[in-house]
């Protein structure tokens, strides 16, 4: 897989995952509805800063592991594959009927308070780090230094997340309404689940020199 092929595949996959609603989406939509677009933008900035720190930590850790030994890569490969397949099966077999926009949003506080809330919501969620460890190495081309390329993938994810956050804030009411439709949520969950399983299988079959 060349660098261009890896980046192209990653943008498509990360884009779909960005569109799949989760805790971060709920926080942004609820903040926009209750506190307004400005504070929702600060919350989104905090969330994306958290993603960037997770990405840097994972890139440094994975870079060291993958450079250390083939055994480290093999162990990481099987753990990551199992995690992605497990996530995928759960999404396909148990898709959500609706997206719960119940993230707690309390009125008050300055703009930076909302940035801190978004940051801590993301940074204190270990699933973000686990997911990065499982997902990002699959797009690492042969012969490319692991740490900088994986961090680049994290940066791309943050850029996609920033664009989606802007769309969420701009269209809070209609987007929230669409995400309450059972068919939409089920479709997103099942497509994402299929994607996870496909990447899990691909990770198992991956061979590195």
In this structure, the number of other CB atoms found within 10 A of the CB of residue 113 comes to 16
DSSP 8-state class, residue 176: H
Q: What is the pLDDT of residue 209?
A: 44
Tokens of 62: 């994975």
Answer whether residue 127 shows pLDDT above 60: yes
d(CA 119, CA 185): 26
Answer whether residue 63 shows pLDDT above 70: no
Higher-confidence position of 68 and 178: 178
d(CA 137, CA 65): 11
pLDDT tens, position by position, 148-192? 898 999 999 999 999 999 998 988 878 777 777 778 778 878 887
Tokens of 10: 């990653």
Cα 190 to the chain's mean position, in Å?
Answer: 16
197 touches 88 (CB < 8 A): yes
Question: Can you tell me the mean pLDDT for 94-104?
Answer: 65
Q: Is 194 helix (H, G, I), strand (E, B) or coil?
A: helix
d(CA 181, CA 4): 36
Tokens of 2: 């060349």
Domains contained in the chain, number: 1
Answer whether residue 107 shows pLDDT above 60: no
pLDDT band for 207, please (50, 70, 90 cuts). Answer: low
pLDDT tens, position by position, 1-44? 788 888 998 998 888 888 877 778 878 888 887 778 888 899 99
CA distance readout (Å), 164 to 101, 146, 180: 17, 27, 18
d(CA 50, CA 60): 16
* Residues sharing a CB contact under 8 Å with residue 163, sequence separation 6 or more, in sequence order: none
For residue 111, give its domain range: 3-205
Tell me the pLDDT of the chain averaged across its residues.
Answer: 80
64 touches 170 (CB < 8 A): no
| pTM: predicted TM-score of the whole model, two decimal places | 0.74
Higher-confidence position of 4 and 111: 4
């Amino acid at each position: 897989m060349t660098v261009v092929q890896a980046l192209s595949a990653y943008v498509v996959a990360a884009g779909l995952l960005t569109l799949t609603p989760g805790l971060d989406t709920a926080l942004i939509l609820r903040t926009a509805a209750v506190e307004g677009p400005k504070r929702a933008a600060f919350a989104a900035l905090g969330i994306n800063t958290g993603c960037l720190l997770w990405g840097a930590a994972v890139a440094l850790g994975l870079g060291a592991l993958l450079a250390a030994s083939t055994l480290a890569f093999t162990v990481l490969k099987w753990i990551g594959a199992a995690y992605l397949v497990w996530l995928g099966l759960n999404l396909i077999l148990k898709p959500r009927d609706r997206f719960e926009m119940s993230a707690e949003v309390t009125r008050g506080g300055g703009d930076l308070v909302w940035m801190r809330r978004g940051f801590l919501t993301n940074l204190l969620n270990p699933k973000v780090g686990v997911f990065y460890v499982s997902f990002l190495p699959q797009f690492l081309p042969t012969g490319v230094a692991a740490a900088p390329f994986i961090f680049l993938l994290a940066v791309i994810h943050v850029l996609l997340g920033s664009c989606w956050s802007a769309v969420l804030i701009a269209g809070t009411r209609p987007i929230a309404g669409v995400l309450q439709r059972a068919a939409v949520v089920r479709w997103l969950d099942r497509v994402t689940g299929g994607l996870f399983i496909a990447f899990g299988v691909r990770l198992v079959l991956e061979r590195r020199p």
